[in-house]
Homo-oligomer: A and B are copies of this chain.
């Protein structure tokens, strides 16, 4: 997604109009209202204000935050992990100095990177293994091969390095 600069056809009157109700936000991000409230419980998001009747009102940029949350979830981070990565929503404005924020971001990103590299290592290992097995199995499946007979057996065979049982 290249950042579409939202052509100012309608010069957005003031920021007030842009606020989303929780239902609209849920619609936009494809999550349920319950989920958004749960995220709020965890301090992953927070409404920027409330209506007179205490309806939650969200700034549009909250959508970006939610997309980040979902992306991380798809990578199997727990919401607790994600909270640590993104930081609590309610304290976004209270961090004292810009330097401090940058430093903390750096630390978080570094940890993230380590974690990612580890996952990548594991995945690549498994992939190599799977590819190996596929190669062997494919040989068995091809009709012209009679050798390697005990390969996919499961009891008592000794080809343990090829398959797991």
Using a CB–CB distance below 8 Å, which chain A residues touch chain B?
3, 61, 64-65, 67-68, 71, 74-76, 86, 89, 92-93, 95, 98-99, 101-103, 105-106, 109-110, 112-113, 116-117, 119-120, 122-124, 126-127, 130-131, 133-134, 137-138, 140-141, 149, 151-155, 160-161, 163-165
Contact = CB atoms under 8 A, between A and B. Distances in A.
Contacts of A160: 3, 61, 64
Nearest to A105: B137
Identical subunits present: 2
B126 A123 contact: no
Contacts of A155: 92-93
Contact of A134 (B64, B86, B106, B138): B106
B74 A154 contact: no
Closest 9 CB pairs of A and B: A68-B164, A92-B154, A102-B140, A76-B76, A101-B152, A106-B137, A109-B134, A116-B127, A102-B152
